[in-house]
Amino acid sequence: MNNKEEVIDYCLELGNAYIDTPFRDKKWTVIRHMDKKKVFAWIFEKDERVWVNVKDEPNLLDLMRQIYPSVVPAFHLNKDHWNSIILDGTIPKEVIQDMIRKSYILTKGK
């Protein structure tokens, strides 16, 4: 998984989600839950790469950052709850999908 379209397609496959572009900067796309409107994936371009901000469990944030150098504290979000995934080809597709799926679950609400 190394482009914006693949990330968006995967996010939408999770169901009950939609694309939003809430900022003037068209380099930013967010994927929201249909019912509560909460964002679970912030997708944007920075430093000529696609980045994806995802929520994770607090005890796993640092672990993911240690395992994958392309997982860093979230750009523009709370670094105690969110990580940024830099899509540079170094993280396996399954790991990226798992991180997105966890963010989807964590932001879904009750």
Q: Where are the beta strands (DSSP E) in the chain?
A: 17-20, 28-33, 39-46, 49-55, 71-73, 82-87
Q: pLDDT at position 76, please?
A: 85
Closest C-alpha among 2, 7, 6, 48 to residue 27: 48
Give the pLDDT confidence of 37-92 residue by residue, as tens digits.
999 999 999 999 999 999 999 999 999 999 999 999 999 898 889 999 999 999 99
At 2 the pLDDT is 84
Q: What is the pLDDT of residue 18?
A: 97
Sheet holding 49-55, edge to edge: 17-20, 28-33, 39-46, 49-55, 82-87, 71-73
Asked if pLDDT for residue 110 goes beyond 80, the answer is: no
Comparing 17-21, 28-32, 74-78, 92-96, which segment has the lowest mean pLDDT? 74-78
